[in-house]
Amino acid sequence: MKNNTGNARLLQGNEACVLGALYAGVRFFAGYPITPSTEIAEGMARELPKIGGKFIQMEDEIASIAAVIGASNTGCKSMTATSGPGFSLMQENIGYAYITESPCVIVDVQRGGPSTGLPTKISQSDTMQARWGTHGDYTAIALAPSTVKECFEETVRAVNLSERFRTPVTVLADEVLGHMREMMIVPAKGELETIERHKPDVPSDWYRHFEITPSFVSPMASFGDGYRYNVTGLIHDQDGFPTANPNEIKDKLDKLRKKIERYTDEIFKIRTDMMDDAHIAIVSYGTVSRSARQAIKIARERRIKVGAIQLLTLWPFPDLKLREMFGGIRKIIVAELNMGQLVNEIKRIAPRHVEVHSLQRYDGEVMAPQQILDKIREVK
Amino acid sequence: MDKIAHESDVTHHYLRPKKKFPNVWCAGCGNGIVMGALIRSIDRLGLDKDEVVVVSGIGCSSRMPVYLDFGTLHTTHGRALPFATGVKIAKPNMKVIVITGDGDALAIGGNHFIHACRRNIDITTILINNKIYGMTGGQFAPTTPGGSFATTAPYGNYEKQFDAVKLAIGAGASYVARGTVYHVQQLEKLIEGAIMKKGFALVDTYSNCHTYYGRFNKEGDAVAMLDWFKKHAVPINVAQKLPPEKLEGKFVTGLIHETNATEFCEEYAMLVERLAAKES
């Protein structure tokens, strides 16, 4: 894998994540080996030292995300990659990143669970963990690619969103996507937008590390920049000092929510196929969306008016935008590789006249187009 | 009198202007003594405030960074060292100091502790060792001596005690020292040496928790506990000349171990240089 851009390459999903991260400006990676994400750490170990970036293999996933957050607070775009068990171990410190508003990216190449589960098999059973994995109230951002090209693009977007909103962002890939190879044109430098975090321009005496601004996103100084401030996982005031004041507690938690929820439309990203005249919509994300696209193509040949909606942004959940899209739909099939995690979100927002069906698979195999076709036939 | 006034000025210079006082510590707690010693060490070394990052975990001692006028990172329980590792690797020119307690560093953070030592990364770790969990109300810690009482050892502790100094030496730290909150001048020198050392440095600092440890084990108030440190500490140069039986029930203080192994960030920088040379 060479780090040259602007050309056609045959790449694994995991390799595309590495290239996407480097493209977006990630210069710090800390991780711990875990199947099926390990190629990301291996790629980073190979590429980062060549460009003066920093790679470290930590003693576990808890330490990995801790080091990532530490590095992020020095102003460095930072990332880790893992799979289910490691993602579980990281959760406490991911919560720390939320409350300290430390930008970072976690790529979770999903495998089956619970526990050690199915190390080498596909799953989408971390969908809710990406939203509610750590304790407490917060609003999460999670993105879900379905192709190698999207692995690249969504990793770039994850880095951008994390820097833009000062928050952790999860990329939910999966085992099949991580390991499959596809041809992709690696974008040339400047072709995709890359975002830098907003730095303070006030004198150090005026600087407040957690200032509640009109956009709710605070400019972020780095350690060593001449701004001295406190960062803590305790609920804190705008200066970063622990507080037990009810107003300050509420303000802080509202800030964490509003700085993301207000921008749901900006974070929103979907791909639609044949939805213009569709009566049935297949809603899916990740690798399942590939099967959905194949299934609707076959169904259309049989004159069934079915379309597909692929969610590239899973969280924050785009309630309003999706509800608009469901206006002309009679039936929705939510296809996912778990026991039904996203389907309840769709049920929550679907208009009353729309039937919502759940299509689940959780035996470690991919969702075959035929399985989706069968479901279309069953519900139509 | 002048000296005291000067030291008071020095202390205030390094405390946050928007002071978050009163602090959370009990009256007589050794944490304040360590904080004073750290401040004076940093002042004597003439470090730029903006070059210092102080990282801590969770516990009484880990609240210290909040009061200090540096970049400060108060993290999760046991994880100060991996957070500090991220800071140090990303900005190797910064002085990274970790303040941690015995439960924080040796129980929940034990794995991180040995690996930070093994990497010999240039982090100064001041382990404030009071032999008990203070913040949660006096439970036994990995450092609680056998037979001692704690709220979770109501019949006496039946576990073995961890020796942070031996652990750090075994794991590869390049500067390993022990001090106490009674021997303040020695402690300042040890902290100074630790900060200057290129590599992982530990100052295992015996401190008093009279509120819990002292009360449960009838060791008296803060003054009585400091007196105990005074009577039981043996400086390393004296200890080396004593037969082992004379050290029974005592503990050794001073710079106990020092090596000159290569430091992690330097090693990494050499790799980057090597790769750059290959490219060109």
> Which value does ipTM take for this structure?
0.97
- Residues of B whose CB is below 8 A from A224: 50-51, 53, 71, 91, 93-94
CA atoms of A139 and A234, how far apart (whole Å): 17
Q: Which residues partner with B177 through β-bridges?
A: B203, B255
Q: Residue A44: its pLDDT value, please?
A: 98
- Bridge partner residues of B96 (DSSP): B53, B123
> Rounded to whole angstroms, how far apart are CA atoms B40 and B15?
12
Residue A4, pLDDT > 70, answer: no
Instruction: Please check whether residue B57 is in contact with residue B101, taking contact to mean a CB–CB distance below 8 angstroms.
Output: yes
Give Cβ neighbours of residue A256 (< 8 Å, ≥ 6 apart).
Answer: A98, A99, A101, A137, A138, A139
Query: What pLDDT was estimated at residue A349?
Result: 96
Residues of A in contact with B93 (CB under 8 A): 224
Specify the long-range contacts of residues B166-171, CB closer than 8 Å, at least 24 apart: B167/B106, B167/B113, B167/B114, B167/B117, B168/B113, B168/B117, B168/B200, B168/B202, B168/B204, B168/B257, B169/B256, B169/B257, B171/B113, B171/B114, B171/B115, B171/B117, B171/B118
- CB count within 10 Å of CB A4 equals 9
Residues of chain B with pLDDT under 70: 1, 19
Say if residues A192 and A25 touch (Cβ distance below 8 Å): no
- pLDDT tens, position by position, A132-143: 999 999 999 999
In the structure encoding, which two tokens stand for residue B226, read together? 């400091």
Amino acid letter, residue B108: I
Residues 6+ apart with CB under 8 A from A29: A21, A41, A44, A45, A48, A53, A54, A55, A56, A68, A78, A79, A80, A81
Element (H, E) at B233: strand B233-235
Amino acid at B120: N
Q: Which residue of A has its CA nearest to B53?
A: A223
Residues A341 and A296: beta-carbon distance below 8 Å = no
Q: For B118-165, how does the pLDDT look when each residue is reduced to its tens digit (9 = 90+)?
A: 999 999 999 999 999 999 999 999 999 999 999 999 999 999 999 999
In three state form, how does the secondary structure of A325-336 look?
Answer: HCCCCCEEEEEE
Cβ separation B75–A233 shorter than 8 A: yes
Give the whole-angstrom CA distance, residue B74 versus residue B56: 5
Which are the contacts of B220, defined by CB distance < 8 A and separation ≥ 6?
Answer: B210, B214
Q: Which amino acid is at B129?
A: N
The strand pairing partners of A81, in sequence order, are: A107
CA distance to partner chain A, nearest, from residue B95 (Å):
10
Say how far apart CA B52 and CA B43 lie, in whole Å: 12
Alpha helices (runs of H) in A195-287, residue ranges in sequence order: 246-261, 264-267
B contacts of A234 (beta carbons < 8 Å) = 74
Q: Which residue has the tokens 């970063």?
A: A240
- The pTM score is 0.97
Average pLDDT, integer, range A217-239: 96
Q: What is the pLDDT of residue A105?
A: 98
Give the model confidence (pLDDT) of A169-208 as tens digits. 999 999 999 999 999 999 999 999 999 999 999 999 999 9
- Give the pLDDT confidence score for residue B236 in this predicted structure: 97
CA distances from A372 to A124, A242, A281, B177 (A): 16, 52, 11, 66
Q: How far apart are CA A352 and CA A261, in angstroms?
A: 24
Tell whether the model's pLDDT for residue A53 goes beyond 70.
yes
The number of residues making up chain B comes to 280
Residue contact B74–A59, C-beta within 8 A = no
Three-class secondary structure of residue B145 per DSSP: coil
Mutate to test the interface with B, among A228, A241, A248 (most CBs of B within 10 A): A228
Enumerate chain B positions whose Cβ falls within 8 A of a Cβ in A.
16, 18, 20, 49-51, 53, 55, 65-66, 69-76, 79, 81-91, 93-94, 111-112, 115, 268, 271-272, 275-276, 279
Whether A343 contacts A314, CB under 8 Å = no
The answer, yes or no, to whether residue A110 has pLDDT greater than 90, is yes
Tell whether the torsion through CA atoms of A73, A74, A77 and A83 is positive or negative. negative
- Using CA atoms, how far apart are residues A129 and A135, in angstroms rounded to an integer? 11
Q: Are B97 and B126 in contact (CB under 8 A)?
A: yes
pLDDT digits (tens, 9 = 90+) for A278-298: 999 999 999 999 999 999 999
> β-strands B52-56, B95-101: how paired?
parallel
Alpha-carbon gap, residue A302 to A313, rounded angstroms: 31
User: Looking at residue B82, what is its pLDDT?
Assistant: 98
Rounded to whole angstroms, the Cα distance separating A78 from B221 reads: 47
**pLDDT tens, position by position, A310-353:** 999 999 999 999 999 998 999 999 999 999 999 999 999 999 99
Residue A379: the pLDDT is 95
pLDDT confidence of A91, banded at 50, 70, 90? very high
By three-state DSSP, how is residue A253 classified? helix
Q: Which residues contact A39 (CB under 8 A, 6 or more apart)?
A: A12, A14, A15, A18, A178, A179
User: What number is the average pLDDT over the span A218-238?
Assistant: 97
From B95, which residue of chain A is nearest by alpha-carbon distance? A224
Kindly identify which residue of chain B lies nearest to residue A66, measuring between CA atoms.
Answer: B83
Radius of gyration, CA atoms only, chain B: 19
State which residue of chain B sits closest to A224, comparing Cα positions.
Answer: B50
| Spatial distance between the Cα atoms of B58 and B77, rounded to a whole number of angstroms | 5
